[in-house]
């Protein structure tokens, strides 16, 4: 029962993470390019304030659930879950050290004006955004592989007590 719950939580949390980043790349970034720069900066700054708590919580849940799945699973699903956890961690690190340091600049520009060369900085933010979207989708993909290939046959790791009884 617990194993099934952890598999489900890993699938849902990595799926939501990938979906949120995917939506951002397909819709939000496109909208950023369709509006005047003052509108983009104002919206971007407001969005990052809301997204901070939501996305960090989602990344934490995805990381914890994939790590738990890796600890509980056996064989190939264990490796896939560990790979997924590594990709979720990469998603967090890209966000923390790539995107987040740019946010104060965007917030400042939203109330003042962007300096010369601001477009290169926004392009860098978008590059990091694409990278973390890719790692988020890959993390979800590995969990989907566990569910599709192994399904209900996903082998849980046997404890020492179980091994000694056999």
- DSSP string covering 88-138: HHHHHHHIIIIIGGGHHHHHHHHHS-PPTTHHHHHHHHHHHHHHHHHHHHH
Residue 6: CB partners within 8 Å, gap ≥ 6? 65, 68, 69, 72
Mean pLDDT of 87-113: 97
Residue 67 clears pLDDT 90, i.e. is over it: yes
Instruction: Kindly report the average pLDDT of the chain as a whole number.
Output: 92
pLDDT reported for residue 159: 62
In the block, which residue shows the tokens 């970034």? 29
As a whole-number percent, the residues of the chain with pLDDT over 70 amount to: 93
CA atoms within 13 A on the CB side of 40: 16
More confident residue, 49 or 86: 86
**What pTM was estimated for this model as a whole?**
0.89
Predicted pLDDT at 163: 46
pLDDT of res. 160: 52
Residue 61 has pLDDT above 90, yes or no: yes
């Amino acid at each position: 029962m617990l194993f099934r719950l952890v598999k489900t939580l890993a699938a849902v949390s990595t799926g939501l993470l990938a979906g949120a980043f995917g939506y951002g790349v397909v819709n939000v970034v496109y909208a950023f390019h369709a509006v005047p720069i003052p509108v983009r900066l104002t919206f971007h700054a407001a969005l990052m304030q809301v997204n901070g708590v939501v996305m960090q919580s989602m990344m934490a849940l995805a990381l914890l659930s994939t790590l738990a799945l890796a600890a509980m699973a056996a064989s190939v699903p264990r490796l896939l879950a560990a790979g997924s956890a590594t990709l979720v961690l990469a998603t967090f690190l890209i966000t923390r050290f790539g995107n987040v340091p740019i946010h104060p600049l965007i917030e400042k520009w939203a109330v003042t004006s962007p300096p010369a060369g601001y477009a290169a900085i926004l392009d860098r933010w978008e590059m990091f955004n694409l990278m973390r979207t890719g790692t988020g989708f890959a993390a979800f993909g590995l969990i989907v592989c566990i569910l599709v290939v192994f399904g209900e046959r996903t082998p849980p790791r046997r404890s020492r007590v179980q091994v000694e009884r056999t």
